[in-house]
Structure 1
Amino acid sequence: MEHGQVPPFVPGGDLTVGVEEELMLVDGAGAMLGLEAVPLVDGLREAGSPAGVVTGEVYADQVELNTPVCRSAEDVRASLRQLRTAVVAGGARPMAVGVHPTAPFGGAVLVSSPRYDRILDEYAGLLRTPTAALQVHVGFPDERTLMRGYRGLRHHLPLLRALAAGSPYWHGIDSGQATARAAIIRSYPRTTLPPLLRSWDDYVARTEAMTAAAEAPDHTYVWWEMRPRPLLGTLEVRVMDAVPSLAAAAGLAALVQGIARRAVESPDPLDLSDDVLAVNDQRVVRHGLETRVVDVDQGLRPLREVASRVLAESRAVLAPDGLAAPLDAVEALLGAEPEPDRQRRLVDTGGVPTLLDDLVARTVDLAG
């Protein structure tokens, strides 16, 4: 295979689901551990089991929990519970949040590897603030089916971002955003919303042109916020903040699985343009669920209305196979105080230390 060429597609399952969950490691006061985390992370790498794998990340004080390929989001939840348990048992204090609320600008401590060194050289001074994501993979049996899933999920990436949005604070101040993580990620090269594509050939051509222009080694250096992973046979949804609640993480994985399944069975007749999708997303970055977006029928309507419909559609396609129960957590998200509002309320009433304690407490609440 030539340098930068997209590899052949490897079948990845029949709408299976898996999760990569990034967690920050903090001290007793909720501050990032920095270099003190290095031996801890080295030990946690051994915490994997049949439930999944714990790996390090570009940030020295962060781990990534990787579930196996799962049939259902219930299985995802069970895996993440065991992996979070192993992290805590290994002596770590994890925090699930899209941006560490108080980490100082320029305070990120980075690790070295051949891949990370190349990224750091290209990013220069951009990797200055620790961020963490909830990344969901959906497996597909072939390229055509994957592209159907791509079209349907692409339309609803702003909704998924809104449901997970929970990083209003950065550098100890209120950013004014529902998710400051999105603003940080957008500063990175080749990190954009996924473009409108009609076929697998379109994906290959677009990706190979980008890697050639960037002189990047391979397709994994294109960081769209949803991207095909040919060697895994999956679509990787990268748009969501890390969330403290296990139930919410599983529910969001189920929603991704449901949207993908419906897109395969009943493709949307229309596509949102790149420009309109970007406007939808920017409104969500600022306001979370409390905004209006252009829906797939080109109508402008409240995002909460869109969310209710998409949730119902996902239940309808997942319920026949007994896969819909985790969606109850998404319904709970829609009925609860929005996460950015909760965090602001905690800071207003108890100060930033109260927020940091709350984020850790919910992350280690393995019944949550």
Structure 2
Amino acid sequence: MGDGAVTGTVPDFRPGGDFTLGVEDELMLVDDAGELLSERAVPLVSALVGSHVGPGHVVGEVYADQVEVTTAVCRDGDEVLAALTALRSHVTASARVMSSGVHPTAALGAAVTSPSSRYDRIVGEFAGLLRTPTAAFQVHVGLPDEQSLMLAYRGLRRRLPLLRAIAAATPYWHGVDSGLASARSAVIRSYPRHSVPPLLHTWEEYVARAEALLVAAGAPDDTYVWWDLRPRPLIGTLEVRVMDAVPSVELAAGLASLVQGIARRAVERPDDRDPSDDVLGVNDDAAIRHGLDARVVDDDQVRRPLREVAVRVLAEARETLDADGRAAPLHAVERRLAADPEPDRQRQLVASEGMPALLLDLVARTTHPEA
């Protein structure tokens, strides 16, 4: 990565579908007490990686005690739910897993990484910043062309704090309360090139911005651009990267549906009320700190409770997806909005029963579907 490093260019966009979905669900491998397996996970991961289940497959991750289940292309959230349920069942048949954006008790600096040319590069660049295992729930939405992609990019960009807040579920890190709704987000924010996506209007703007970034970083290709929302031109998708891993497969499917509905509405009903990079960053900081209890600057530049914004955006997504009968998974998001915030739930459990109870609770909710 020194001077003279060969850097990549952004490939041409390949059509990826009409608002199809694909998700990546990162799972931590743990022992009977819910603690990370670290090096003990290596043979389990080796046995799981490369296995295919009808609707997807299992891949490795940068952390040695983690796998990622990746769905095939899905038409809607119902197919995402079926795929994730099958994939998680396949993994849990041979390993104990936890879905959590940050392992609540992993020690500072305890991350054990997997060797590969890509991961070795990442470890070399991140150095001591790669200090604890994190896990995300990432959603890809397929777009048919560059114009639709950029309209969906702007629509999803303004809703990133909302998506982060709904999924926020990591108040604890290193065994203590971080004071945040999403400690994972704070960890990720410390990594190079992990930032809110810039305001862009055209594909040409994206290419110029991304290629300048690749030159500055000495990076080989556009997969090293790690914005919270990024185009993936070779597979024709937009990738939403802000969400903590969530134990509930029903909520995961609901979040995928919400992404689908927001993207589709942005293409069908373009809206020019884009927040500046600075305002979006402040909104996102509020979501990281307070989750759904945050207050954010809304589309009309008025500061409002994020829950109020969430209710409106969810209704818009439901209206959009109802046209094709694809809105049912959004019920799980509605239930999340009506319930106590997940970070509060975890804090109450630790206060009443202790941290070991939280670890076992996360494992149980990952293994046994519930909203």
Q: TM-score, normalised by structure 1?
A: 0.98
In structure 1, what is the equivalent of residue 14 of structure 2? 10
Amino acid at match of 1:76: V
Cα shift readout 1:234-264 (whole Å, capped 9, x = no counterpart): 0000000000001000000000000001000
Name the counterpart of 2:287. Answer: 284
Deviation at 1:46, TM superposition (A): 4.4
Which position in structure 2 is the counterpart of 1:95?
98
CA distance in 1, matches of 2:100, 2:271: 33
For residue 231 of structure 1, report the CA deviation from its aligned partner: 0.2
Query: Does 1:79 pair with 2:80?
Result: no
> Any idea what SS the aligned residue of 1:289 has?
helix
Q: In structure 1, how many angstroms separate the alpha carbons of the residues matched to 2:133 and 2:271? A: 37
Residue 104 of structure 1 aligns with which residue? Answer: 107
Residue 147 of structure 1 is matched in structure 2 by 150
Runs of at least 5 residues in structure 1 that lack an aligned partner in the other structure: none
For 2:370 and 2:172, the matched residues in 1 are separated by 26
The separation in 2 between residues aligned to 1:3 and 1:108, in whole angstroms, is 29
| Residue of structure 2 equivalent to 1:225 | 228
Residues 271-328 of structure 1 deviation map (CA, whole Å, 9 limit, x = unaligned): 1000000000001111001121111222211111100000000000101101100000
Cα distance in 2 for residues equivalent to 1:23 and 1:136: 15
In the TM superposition, residue 48 of structure 1 has moved relative to its aligned partner by 1.7
Give the 4+ runs in structure 1 shifted more than 4 A: none
**Aligned residue for 2:315?**
312
Secondary structure in structure 2 of the residue aligned to 1:10: coil
> Counterpart of 1:263?
266
Counterpart CA distance in 1 for 2:125 and 2:92 is 34
Secondary structure at the residue paired with 1:37? helix
Q: Which residue of 2 aligns with 1:31?
A: 35
Deviation (angstroms), 1:18 = 0.9
Aligned residue number for residue 342 of structure 1: 345
Task: Tell me which residue corresponds to 1:54.
Answer: 58
CA distance in 1, matches of 2:206, 2:298: 24
- The question of 1:21 aligning with 2:31 is answered no
Return the match for 2:203 from 197, 200, 203: 200
1:210 to 2:213 alignment: yes
Counterpart for residue 366 of structure 2: 363
Structure 2 CA distance, aligned partners of 1:354 and 1:244? 15
Residue 161 of structure 1: aligned partner: 164
Give the counterpart of 2:186 among 180, 183, 187: 183
Whichever residue aligns with residue 268 of structure 1, its letter is D
The aligned amino acid for 2:207 is V
Whole-angstrom distance in 1 between the partners of 2:295 and 2:369: 34
C-alpha distance in 2, partners of 1:367/1:180? 23
Distance 1:202 1:169 in 2: 39
Q: Is the 8 A contact 1:67 1:76 kept in 2?
A: yes
Matched to 1:103, the amino acid is A
> Does 160-169 or 46-55 show the bigger shift?
46-55
Which letter does structure 2 place at the counterpart of 1:319? Answer: D
Tell me the equivalent position of 1:137: 140
2:3 alignment counterpart: none
Q: Percent identity over the alignment?
A: 65
What amino acid does structure 2 have at the position aligned with 1:79?
A: A
RMSD: 0.9
Give 3-state SS (helix, strand or coil) of 1:316's partner: helix
What amino acid sits opposite 1:45 in the alignment? V
Q: Pick closer, same or farther for the CA change 1:70–1:147 going to 2, 3 Å.
A: same
Aligned counterpart in structure 2 of residue 43 of structure 1, from 41, 47, 59: 47
Residue 49 of structure 1, CA deviation: 1.8
Question: Deviations along 1:86-123, whole A, 9 cap, x unmatched?
Answer: 0011x211100110000000111101101111111111
Residue in structure 2 matched with residue 332 of structure 1 by the alignment:
335
Task: Report the Cα distance in structure 1 between the residues aligned to 2:359 and 2:19, rounded to whole angstroms.
Answer: 36
Q: Measure the CA separation in 2 of the matches of 1:268 and 1:301.
A: 19
Q: CA deviation at 1:17?
A: 0.7
CA contact (8 A) 1:98 1:243 kept: yes
Residues 63, 111 of structure 2: 8 Å contact kept: yes
> Do residues 254 (structure 1) and 257 (structure 2) align?
yes
